[in-house]
């Protein structure tokens, strides 16, 4: 099975032909408009089965799959409370529907996925990777039970760790490791977190401002029999500041 994940930087209805040429089984697109609203623009797109979730009609996560596959959105909407003695702040509790942005789904009720596009603002302490940390804790039971492939744009890297935050990138990698998850990129290329040689994001589309912030976290036994590719800068930079990642695994 081949999976492509790409932050298309908006306007996917004008860019999907490039992804279609890769011929993946599943396509996960961040910053995608709602295909339901733009159906005419997607007429020639051969991936007719899709789900979408977003805050506005032009910015969300879409998942497309080939005809013949059944795709269903899952309702992982759980809560979590941090228990800290003598502190009763409302900020210690949260619900999944407050977090942005996560889209759990299943293919043919056989394969489970969690599509990710983390968001954040300057005044949001639990921004980006903090949103993912909160989501993991709230939905731990589902993740451990269904072992979804966790794929997308995390807007995070260990080079930005803040030591006084227990939800930083490195701490989350450690948590996922305890849950028997591996970053496919780091396993496949034998690279360490923070020392990636293949960027997935170019700030302002500048070669000198490159970062690795898109990931696929897979259960360890599946990751060991899978591979990953980061697409080439020169082939994609005119379309987005992100490069697609392609995941291949044996069914």
- 64-108 residue pLDDT tens: 999 889 999 999 999 999 999 898 888 899 999 999 999 999 999
Name the pLDDT band for 164 (thresholds 50, 70, 90): confident
Cβ atoms within 10 Å, residue 45: 18
The Cα 172–Cα 129 span in angstroms is 8
Decide yes or no: CATH 3.60.10.10 for domain 2-249.
yes
Q: Which of 46-60, 118-132, 153-167, 196-210 has the lowest mean pLDDT?
A: 118-132
Tell me the percentage of the chain whose pLDDT exceeds 90. Answer: 91
pLDDT given for residue 122 in this prediction = 61
> Mean of the pLDDT values across residues 231-248?
98
The Cα 214–Cα 204 span in angstroms is 17
The Cα 34–Cα 12 span in angstroms is 10
pLDDT given for residue 91 in this prediction = 85
Residue 117, CA distances (Å) to 29, 132, 135 in order: 9, 9, 12
Burial 180-213 (b: 16+ CB within 10 A, else e): ebbbbbbbbeeeebeebebbbbbeeeeeeebbbb
The Cα 67–Cα 2 span in angstroms is 14
Q: For residue 177, what are the contacts with CB-CB under 8 A and spacing of at least 6?
A: none
Q: Supply the DSSP symbol for 242.
A: B
pLDDT given for residue 68 in this prediction = 87
Identify the CA nearest to 201 among candidates 227, 169, 233.
Answer: 233
């Amino acid at each position: 099975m081949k999976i492509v994940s790409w932050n298309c930087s908006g306007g996917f209805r004008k860019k999907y032909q490039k992804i279609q040429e890769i011929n993946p089984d599943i396509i996960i697109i961040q910053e995608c408009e709602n295909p339901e609203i733009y159906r005419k623009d997607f007429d020639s797109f051969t991936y007719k089965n899709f789900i979408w979730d977003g805050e506005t009609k032009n910015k969300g996560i879409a998942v497309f799959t080939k005809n013949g596959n059944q795709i269903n959105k899952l309702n992982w909407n759980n809560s979590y409370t941090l228990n800290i003695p003598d502190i009763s702040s409302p900020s210690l509790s949260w619900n999944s529907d407050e977090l942005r942005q996560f889209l759990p789904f299943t293919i043919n009720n056989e394969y489970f996925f969690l599509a990710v596009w983390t968001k954040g603002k300057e005044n949001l302490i639990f921004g980006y990777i903090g949103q993912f940390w909160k989501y993991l804790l709230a939905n731990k039971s589902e993740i451990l039970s269904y072992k979804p492939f966790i794929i997308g744009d995390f807007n995070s890297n260990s080079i930005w760790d803040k030591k006084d935050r227990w939800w930083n990138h490195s701490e989350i990698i450690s948590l996922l490791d305890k849950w028997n998850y591996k970053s496919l990129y780091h396993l496949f290329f034998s690279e360490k977190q923070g020392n990636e040689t293949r960027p997935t994001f170019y700030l302002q589309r500048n070669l000198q401002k490159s970062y690795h912030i898109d990931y696929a976290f897979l259960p360890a036994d599946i990751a060991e029999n899978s591979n990953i590719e980061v697409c080439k800068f020169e082939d994609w930079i005119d379309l987005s500041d992100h490069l697609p990642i392609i995941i291949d695994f044996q069914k």
